[in-house]
Amino acid sequence: MKKTATSKTPSMVREDLLPEYNFDYRKAKPNRFDGRKEDRVVVALDPDVSKVFQTPDSINAVLRALIETMPSKPKRKRVSA
């Protein structure tokens, strides 16, 4: 089967947009000003909880203290056959 040539322009060009809004995503680079280096998880807090813990540092401190009090998982015993 013969391949047909594809055009470099997007198939859905809106004529009401100005040319400067036509963004070429192939030339995009990561945001060098983004300070986060590690993976993060965003969690939504209920309003009553967010009144008590107003900063991410306070929430992380309490969760780390809770983790220290949790019992470790027991090791599984091997069953010999």
- Please state the pTM of the whole predicted model: 0.43
- Taking only the tens place, the pLDDT of each residue in 57-77 is 999 999 999 999 998 877 677
**So what's the pLDDT on residue 21?**
80
Q: Are 63 and 53 in contact (CB under 8 A)?
A: no
Q: Which amino acid is at 61?
A: A
- Band the pLDDT of 45: cuts 50, 70, 90: very high
**So what's the pLDDT on residue 9?**
53
Q: Give me the chain's average pLDDT, please.
A: 79
- pLDDT of residue 11 exceeding 60: no
Q: Are 59 and 53 in contact (CB under 8 A)?
A: yes
